[in-house]
A and B are shown apart, each in its own frame.
Chain A
Amino acid sequence: MRLDPYQPIPSRVIDIIEETPTIKTFVLKPQEQVAFSTGQFVELTLPGEGEAPFTPSSDPHIKEELEVTIMKAGRVTSALHSIPKDTTLGIRGPYGKGYPLEEFKNKDILIVGGGVGLAPLRSLIYALLAHPQDYKNIIIRYGARTPQDLLYKKQLSEWAKIKNINLMLTVDTADSNWKGNVGVVTTILKDLPLDLTNAVAVVCGPPIMMKFTTLKLLDLGFRPESIYLSMEKNMSCGLGKCGHCRLGRFYVCKDGPVFKYEEIKEIEDIWE
């Protein structure tokens, strides 16, 4: 940990990838290594403008660079979308607890993503694919609003070719070229090639998608302790001090952002 926990590490933007009309991936080269484990988040500073939390979308095994996939949504993200390559941003972190890969070993892993929620999941998929023999089937179910809102199209088609990956996509609204499923992501959560007695589900997406996916998974027979959720709150300090990201007795920034549904299911209003 650095001496001053509020000081960001200068990080040069070495590439900007346009993923969709509203989502860009920023490839960052921090001056000091930011060794994150998959699912942890960082606070990204646009100097003089503001700071916001993001979970890296890149492979956690790559130490020199990291990628952050950002949807244009608020003040800071809009400003980030207008920066050119070679801008120096600041990084604080990594913060929180990521995906407990140990608990996934020798299990079927169902990964359900919605919209930009695929970003942290991509990092998870990279981490899993680094040791494919440790896990059984990886079942990916991903939904976006329209075909052009789908993230990481190149990786998606590469993953589809991998033997122990079973991948299915859906969109809320199709266009004329779309051959796949139409409907929200819960409509492709059936006939899953997995062993319910030995499977975990990992969910990341907008609150409403997380809610209905969790309910659907419970319906399918997943136990609350086998469902892992990435909770989105407005983490500001990342250190469990500023108070913004309280979720019941937890702070999402230090106790999360990944929670088992079992841990938080008694807390009121978690999907708000």
Chain B
Amino acid sequence: MDIFYLKEENLFNFLKTLESEYEVFVPQKSEGKLRLCPFGFEVSHTEYILKEISSVDKENFSYNPYRTIEPLKSFFISTREPITEYFESAFEREQKPRVIFGMKNCDLFSLKIQDFVFLEGVVKDPFYERRRHQNILISSDCFLFKEVCFCTALGIMPYAQEGFDLNFSEVTSGYIVEVGSEKGAKVIQNNYRYFNPATPVQIASCNKKREKFVSNLNQHLILHDLVPKEIIPQIVKEGFNSGVWQELVLNCVECGGCNFICDTCHCFLLSDERFGKINEKIRSWDACLYANFAKVAGGANPLRYRYQRLRNRYLKKFDFFVENLGLLACCGCGRCIEVCPAKIDIREVLKKLAQQYKTQKI
């Protein structure tokens, strides 16, 4: 597909133009200090939050160097929403198409998991399908990483290769804009005045930047000595009866934060509510760390204990999805590490399982 160049000073105006047709979400900076990680790398504690462009002015708008706080899934499956009315069938809840700017490759990867859940199988989810069809995803390359980032350890690049409509890469005083879909091509076509064809020099500079960043991130990850992705399914499965789960779950307060913030977690709960004569089914995000997640009416609860629920989260990601989709359902975004008040760190959980696995094998 085609590659274009957009001048830096035109970025905000371009996004603003899209407002006529779409609800446009862009990152806003929430400033934090640069700090040194334990390995001496300068890491940022600035966060980026997606806001509707109407509430963001040019000064607050920020081209995010790494992923936003919120996971991309929230644009396709709402935290809580009515999904049907009964026994009336006139229910048609339109949502204005959205443009989401600043998604990273970890988010795009995770959308593969969400697509598998909501677009494949017994039936397509009509809400997800419509939003997926109408929303525009504009991703961008990472050029800084957070301490918790570990995408490349899972074989996921810090720049988008597929699954985007448009992708932005920062180069001198502007951006290389790659078109990834028909939808993306149309957006460029309709706003052609902002774009120029990218020059080979610009493209080469973009590729060089990517290479340099990947090597930088990898150096950081080498020091973390992470578990190789190839053995993750095995150590999780073989570690079923390991004491690691009990040990690490001790501080868990069952907030469900790791589930909700996770780019690939997708579980939801249906509930029923009555509003006068109309009944609604409500769909809400659910968390497998919650005590009643698997409980049945008769009282049986296969996930009765917290350690079983922690283990369940890992089995789902590293066994269920590997078996059914051939993918590890983790994108290395590190959101669950940052959100956990008990400091349960997925990198450490896997390391402990790997250590135990090795000693058992010896």
B132 to chain A, nearest CB (A): 14
The chain B residue sitting closest to A75, CB to CB, is B297
Stretch at the interface among A41-49, A127-135, A153-161: A41-49
Q: Does B270 contact A (CB under 8 A)?
A: yes
Say yes or no: A272-B302 contact (C-beta < 8 A), given A50-B272, A254-B121: yes
How many interface residues does B have (CB within 8 Å)? 48
Indicate if the CB atoms of A234 and B87 lie closer than 8 Å.
no
Residues in B285-300 with C-beta less than 8 Å from chain A: 286, 288, 293-300
CB-contacts of A17-51 with B (<8 A)? 45-51
Cα–Cα distance between A113 and B91 once the two chains are bound (Å): 42
A246 to B266, CA, bound (A): 13
Residues of chain B lying within 8 A (CB to CB) of residue A51: 270, 272, 281
Q: 1/0 contact trace for A253-272 toward B, CB 8 Å?
A: 01000000000000011001
Closest chain A CB from B315 CB (angstroms): 8
Closest beta carbon of chain A to B211's beta carbon, Å: 38
- Interface residue A192 (Cβ < 8 Å from any Cβ of B): no
Q: Are A48 and B274 in contact (CB under 8 A)?
A: yes
Inside 8 A of A167's CB, which chain B residues have their CB?
A: none
Identify 20 new A-B residue pairs, CB closer than 8 A, beyond the known A6-B281, A242-B286, A269-B302. A4-B91, A5-B126, A6-B283, A45-B272, A47-B274, A49-B272, A51-B272, A51-B281, A71-B298, A74-B296, A233-B302, A236-B270, A241-B118, A241-B125, A241-B268, A243-B268, A244-B294, A249-B320, A249-B324, A254-B121
Q: Tell whether B192 is near chain A: CB-to-CB under 8 Å.
A: no
* A1-16 near B? 1/0 per residue, CB < 8 Å: 1011111101000000
Contacts A48-B273, A233-B294, A233-B296; A1 near B267 (Cβ below 8 A) = no
Contact assessment for B86 and A8 in the assembled complex, using a CB-CB cutoff below 8 Å? yes
Cross-chain contact B122 with A254 (CB below 8 angstroms) = yes
Task: Produce 1/0 per residue, A43-79, CB < 8 A to B.
Answer: 0011111111000000000000000000101111100
Q: Once the chains are docked, how many angstroms separate the CA of A249 from the CA of B325?
A: 10
Determine the chain B residues whose CB is within 8 A of the CB of A8 once the complex forms.
Answer: 86-87
Q: Please name all residues of chain B whose beta carbon is closer than 8 Å to the beta carbon of A244 when the two chains form the complex.
A: 267, 269, 286, 293-294
Say yes or no: B274 contacts A232, CB within 8 Å: no
CB-CB under 8 A from A233, the residues of chain B are 294, 296, 302
Contact A272 B300 (CB under 8 A): yes
Q: Does B20 contact A (CB under 8 A)?
A: no
- Judged by a CB distance under 8 angstroms, whether A239 is at the interface is yes
In the complex, which of the residues B266, B267, B269, B297 contacts A52, with contact meaning CB atoms closer than 8 Å? Answer: B297
A residues less than 8 Å from B323 (CB atoms): 249
Chain A residue nearest in CB terms to B323: A249
B267 near A10 with CB under 8 A, answer: no
Question: A121 in the interface, Cβ–Cβ < 8 Å?
Answer: no
B123 at the interface (CB under 8 A from A): yes
Q: Are A50 and B117 in contact (CB under 8 A)?
A: no
Binding site for A on B (CB under 8 A): 83-87, 89, 91, 117-118, 121-123, 125-126, 240-241, 266-274, 279, 281, 283, 286, 288, 293-302, 304, 308, 312, 316, 319-320, 323-324
Q: Indicate if the CB atoms of A6 and B270 lie closer than 8 Å.
A: yes
A207 and B272 in contact, given A6-B281, A48-B279, A240-B121 (Cβ under 8 angstroms): no
- Find chain A residues with CB under 8 A from B125 CB: 5, 239, 241
Contact A246 B117 (CB under 8 A): no
> A88 at interface (Cβ–Cβ under 8 A)?
yes
Q: Which of B89, B268, B281, B283 has the most CB of A within 10 A?
A: B281
Q: Does A109 contact B (CB under 8 A)?
A: no
**A239 and B270 contact, CB distance less than 8 A:** no
In the complex, A183 has a CB within 8 A of chain B: no
Contacting pair A241 B121 (CB below 8 A): yes
CB distance from B6 to the nearest CB of A (A): 38
- Shortest distance in angstroms between B86's beta carbon and chain A's nearest beta carbon? 5
List B contacts of A254 (CB < 8 A): 121-122
Bound-state CA distance A243–B240 (Å) is 20
